[in-house]
Amino acid sequence: MALIDFGGEKEDVITSQEFSLDKAREVLKKEKIVVLGYGVQGPAQALNLRDNGIDVIIGQMEGDEYWEKAIKDGFVPGKTLFPIEEAAKQGTIIKMLLSDAGQVAVWPAVKKCLNDGAALYFSHGFAVVYKEQTGIIPPKNVDVILVAPKGSGRSVRLNFLAGNGINSSYAIEQDYTGRAKERTLALGIAIGSGYLFPTTFKKEVYSDLTGERGVLMGCLAGVMEAQYNVLRKNGHSPSEAFNETVEELTQSLIRLVDENGMDWMYSNCSTTAQRGALDWKPRFRDAVAPVFEALYESVANGTETKRVIDVNSAPDYKVKLQKELDAIKNSEMWRAGAAVRALRPERRK
């Protein structure tokens, strides 16, 4: 382990220097790894494992779009691709990478397939932490572990292919075999994590649900809409409003933050921009702080997870979801965005 000072608090992190890929292969060489779900995280983790020389099979609903995607990615029905329950029967490590609602649906079948000493792996603490809502209570004779990449499945795969890695948290909820930690770290390294930092199932799901609804997605989309609408109301063109709201952020400023921090981004902007941003930052922080407090409480008391299970389990969920996504796509703001992206030099070639 490497003891790293994160702004005043030291944490143990694991990199491939402390836990090499060769060591991960050695730990996993006798394991049968089954990835259940080939939707979001499933493809990235399965393909990264395979590319790192780890044997993996996929469990997916036979014949659906994700089954066909797995075939296109080189998994072979009857050899490395099976219906969910049939795949689960073969696993010594079962990766539950279906949607949270999907995990609830398949759990009775998967539970029957867990052999003594198997490892039940999650990339999200949802199912185990909110067990009163999900009904997912692992048996006592298995390891229960977590590796949670801090990025979408697409980002996990693209970073891996680029020779980088998405950072991941890890946790051990139940260590039946005495090997839970080495299994967890081996899987974390084998899926291509940049580094691994410790957490608990509860902390992972609380932070993840807050982040998704907050800065990472919900808050980001909301404040973009608010600024765009104010600019449009005051006579600015769609192109100008979009460029000043989204394009400059994604194509310039956020890259500077990624490169060397927020102060670095500020220092590479005009003194006028610096002064205004420094003056207005506290006002935005204080304005949204109560919203974040309410959001965290909603996560902690189970309100958010109940809604996820109820809404996402509905038979017409995908149809309704597509309508919501289409409404975003077809709004003036994001139609302007499509036009702006089409004008980028690399798109015009």
Cite the active site residues.
Answer: 124
Nearest to 48 by CA among 147, 125, 151, 159: 159
Nearest to 249 by CA among 161, 340, 163: 340
Beta strands in 46-149 (DSSP E): 56-59, 81-82, 93-96, 119-122, 143-149
C-alpha 205 chain-centroid distance: 11
Amino acid letter, 241: A
Tell me which H or E stretch contains 5.
strand 2-6
Beta-bridged to residue 45, according to DSSP, are none
Query: Residue 210, SS3?
Result: helix
Q: Supply the DSSP symbol for 114.
A: P
The total number of residues shown for the chain amounts to 349
Query: What is the spatial distance between Cα 117 and Cα 114, in angstroms, rounded to a whole number?
Result: 8
Query: What is the spatial distance between Cα 71 and Cα 64, in angstroms, rounded to a whole number?
Result: 11
Amino acid letter, 224: M
Q: Supply the DSSP symbol for 270.
A: -
